[in-house]
A and B are shown apart, each in its own frame.
Chain A
Amino acid sequence: MSLDRATVIRIANLAKIHIDDSEIDIFTRELSQILNWVEQLNEVDVKNVKPMTGVSGMSLREREDEVLDGGYADKIVKNSKEKKKNSFSVPKVIE
């Protein structure tokens, strides 16, 4: 399926990726090309076929809900752009 410019703008907005006006046509063309190509999946009869959600069909393991480690807030904030003591300092997020 070919996408139109409005759809590309909508997806970019959902994905939180800013696209310059000059790039919209390029993305529209490239994404349409990819979607047209995957269209061939419609040739496959998947009636009564279960979707594959995991590789080995195994169910995920469970574990006790318990504290295994902790006490290293300094490491957690280590990579933050700005920090105050052991807290993340971020731009204003409530508008």
Chain B
Amino acid sequence: MGKLSDLGVEEVINGLSNKSFSAKELVQAYIDKILEDKILNAFVRVNPEKSLKNAELSDDRRKRNKVLPLDGVPIAVKDIFCTKNEETNASSKILENFVPQYESTVTRKLLESGGIIIGKTSMDEFAMGSSNETSNNGVVLNPWSKGEKKLVPGGSSGGSAAAVSARLCSAALGTDTGGSIRQPASFCGVVGLKPTYGRCSRWGIIAFASSLDQAGPIARSVRDAAIILEQISGFDTMDSTSVDKKVPNLLTACSQSIKEKTIGIPGEYQISGLSDDVRNIWKQGIEWLKSAGANIIDISLPHTPYALPAYYIVAPAEASANLARYDGIKYGFRANNITSLDDLYSKTRSEGFGAEVKRRILIGTYVLSAGYYDAYYLKAQKVRTKIVQDFNIAFEKCDAILTPTTPAGAFEIGEKSHNPVEMYLNDIFTVPASLAGLPAISLPSGLDNNKRPLGLQLIGRPFDEESILSVASVLEDSANFRSMEIEQGIVS
């Protein structure tokens, strides 16, 4: 057996159960690794004392044969989940020193299933970004960076993806609004799973765009992602959009045959900006699925080009409403030297929010303002309907859709931060599934010619996470990404 920190969720569960090591030894190994890899800046907060205490409690449960499904598994949590009595800032100055007095449903479920929160991870401010560069906690380094070339981890769950890739936790939680789990997972060479909208409760997740936000796992394998998702899913009365549906056994789904499955390949994802490396990995993925006996068909999702512009109306509109609550009155940051109430609000928000958050609030305010609502917001909502209809038609003929996760591999820090629209184009392949509320997974499938990870994405029918997990497992076996991690020195 190699280093303890090299173990993923399934291996940890087996190792603990075989008494190969204790939860306390495991947590200590991760804490040491987190301190050793501080340069990545993936974590905004760790609480070693509390994590070790929880590990002792887990070991104690094991002694008493009261083992829980995730007992002793060290998991990193994006700093967007409210954690009771533990500071939560969503990487924003406006939430500095904010200490939630309650636990988000998803982290509560994680804790109740025995998982150990090893720390809170950095993110783009309020989850608005695709590079983690908008974080108030500084940039996060992609573990695949080499020498002078400092790569972004992607975003907005960049800290979580970097932490999983660098083996600073067994798995992590992220949130995905337009690709914020899948895109960083793709950039960092790990698995990212965004479940169907309504599968996981949004209660206690700091809101960005409520009709799009979903929690989900970032993990080192498809099976690990399935194990975590199963534990954090489920109906919750505290979220009015939570759906009362039985959570299937997702691990079983990972080993189901895909012989009867039909996989759709959408022509509209063949965009001009697609790098040759991405094109080749996509073709390779199709071949792997064919060899496994899947039926491959061409499909059309004609409104794909309009998904991204529609998203950049809908999401900022919802954000401008959600973020109206940050006014400096009852909690969070408050500006000094104010002359009037209006001055207090506008100076607090000006000093408390970063540039990207301000841009999105301003766009959202504009598209919702009198005279522009119909031309922008209503129009975008109608385009969203067309995008859902495209998917409905496609899913009459196929069980899952295979696309690249991103048009290219990770870019360098600073490379795209001066042009908002160019940054937005990162999410071109992830946003359509978000707008339609569909489950989607990204899994590492190969490297580009700069030896940076590339992901493939599978999109499924609503509440059919099982199909995308079974197909993803086949791709994962064929890709053998682990050998590339070893070759590139990511793991020893």
- Across the interface, which residues of A come within 8 angstroms of B491, CB to CB? none
Least distance between A16 CB and chain B CB atoms (Å): 4
Q: Is A22 an interface residue (CB 8 A)?
A: no
Given A55-B197, A79-B331: A49 and B437 interface contact (C-beta under 8 Å): no
State whether A17 touches B331 (Cβ < 8 A).
Answer: no
| Min C-beta distance of A75 to chain B, whole Å | 4
Which B residues between 95 and 136 are near A, CB-CB below 8 angstroms? 97-99, 101
Instruction: Report whether A46 and B383 are in contact in the complex, using a CB–CB cutoff of 8 Å.
Output: yes
In whole angstroms, how far apart are the Cα atoms of A75 and B99 in the complex?
A: 10
Q: Is the CB of B381 within 8 A of A51?
A: yes
Contact B211 A41 (CB under 8 A): no
Number of A-B contacts (CB under 8 A): 151
Asked if B382 is at the interface (CB within 8 A of a chain A CB), the reply is: yes
Which residue of chain B is the closest to A81 with respect to CB atoms? B334
Q: Is the CB of B380 within 8 A of A60?
A: no
| A 80-95 to B, binary, CB cutoff 8 A, 1 in contact else 0 | 1100000010111101
Q: Is the CB of B369 within 8 A of A56?
A: no
- CB nearest neighbor in A for B362: A11
B272 contacts the other chain (CB 8 A): no
User: Are A19 and B241 interface neighbours, CB within 8 A?
Assistant: no
The answer to whether the Cβ of B69 comes within 8 Å of any Cβ in the partner chain is: no
Q: In the complex, how many angstroms separate the beta carbon of B351 from the nearest chain A beta carbon?
A: 8
Please tell me which stretch of B158-166, B384-392, B395-403 contacts chain A, meaning at least 4 of its Cβ atoms lie within 8 angstroms of it: B384-392
Asked if B350 contacts A34 (CB within 8 A), the reply is no
Looking at the complex, which one of A35, A37, A50, A61 makes contact with B385 (CB distance below 8 Å)? A50
Given contacts A16-B327, A33-B421, A34-B363, contact A52 B350 (CB under 8 A): no
- Tell me which of B59-67, B186-194, B304-312, B448-456 binds A: B304-312
Nearest-Cβ distance from residue B63 to partner chain A, whole angstroms: 35
Residues on the A chain within 8 Å of B197, using CB: 55-56
Instruction: Check B306 against A40 for contact (C-beta < 8 Å).
Output: yes
Which residues of B have CB within 8 Å of A46? 379, 382-383, 385-386
User: Are A90 and B369 closer than 8 Å at their CB atoms?
Assistant: no
Interface size class of B (residues with CB under 8 A): 35 or more
B345 touches A31 (CB 8 A): no
Residues on A with C-beta less than 8 A from B362 are 8, 11-12, 15, 17, 27, 31
Residue B198 CB within 8 A of the other chain: yes
A6 at the interface (CB under 8 A from B): no
Interface SS majority for chain B: helix
- Nearest-Cβ distance from residue B263 to partner chain A, whole angstroms: 24
B358 at the interface (CB under 8 A from A): yes
Contacts of B241 in A (CB 8 A): 54-55, 58, 60
Q: Which of A39-86 contact B (CB under 8 A)?
A: 39-44, 46, 49-56, 58, 60-61, 63, 72, 75-76, 78-81
With A18-B349, A78-B101: A38-B313 Cβ-Cβ less than 8 Å: yes
Interface size, chain A (Cβ < 8 Å)? 52
Q: Does B15 contact A (CB under 8 A)?
A: no
Q: Is A4 interfacial (CB 8 A cutoff)? A: no
Is B266's CB within 8 Å of the partner chain A? no
Instruction: Judge if B481 is at the interface, Cβ distance under 8 Å.
Output: no
Of the candidates B342, B361, B384, which one forms a contact with A52 in the assembled complex, judged by CB atoms under 8 Å apart? B384
CB pair A53–B381 under 8 Å, yes or no, is yes
Shortest CB-to-CB span from A3 to chain B, Å, is 8
A33 / chain B contacts, CB cutoff of 8 Å? 419-421
Verify B101–A75 contact, CB threshold 8 A: yes
A49 to B369 Cα, complex, angstroms: 22
Can you name 10 extra interface pairs (CB under 8 A) apart from A40-B305, A91-B338? A11-B365, A16-B349, A37-B309, A38-B376, A55-B197, A55-B437, A58-B241, A75-B101, A88-B330, A93-B341
Please report B residues at the A interface, Cβ cutoff 8 Å. 97-99, 101, 197-198, 211, 237, 240-241, 243, 303, 305-306, 309-310, 312-313, 320, 324, 327, 329-332, 334, 338, 340-347, 349-350, 353, 358-359, 361-363, 365-366, 369, 376, 378-386, 388, 419-421, 436-437, 462
Closest 8 CB pairs of A and B: A51-B381, A55-B437, A79-B331, A46-B382, A18-B350, A18-B346, A38-B309, A75-B101
21 CB-based A-B contacts, threshold 8 Å: A11-B369, A12-B362, A16-B324, A16-B342, A17-B349, A17-B353, A18-B349, A33-B419, A34-B421, A41-B306, A41-B379, A41-B383, A49-B386, A55-B197, A56-B243, A60-B241, A72-B101, A78-B99, A79-B332, A80-B331, A90-B330
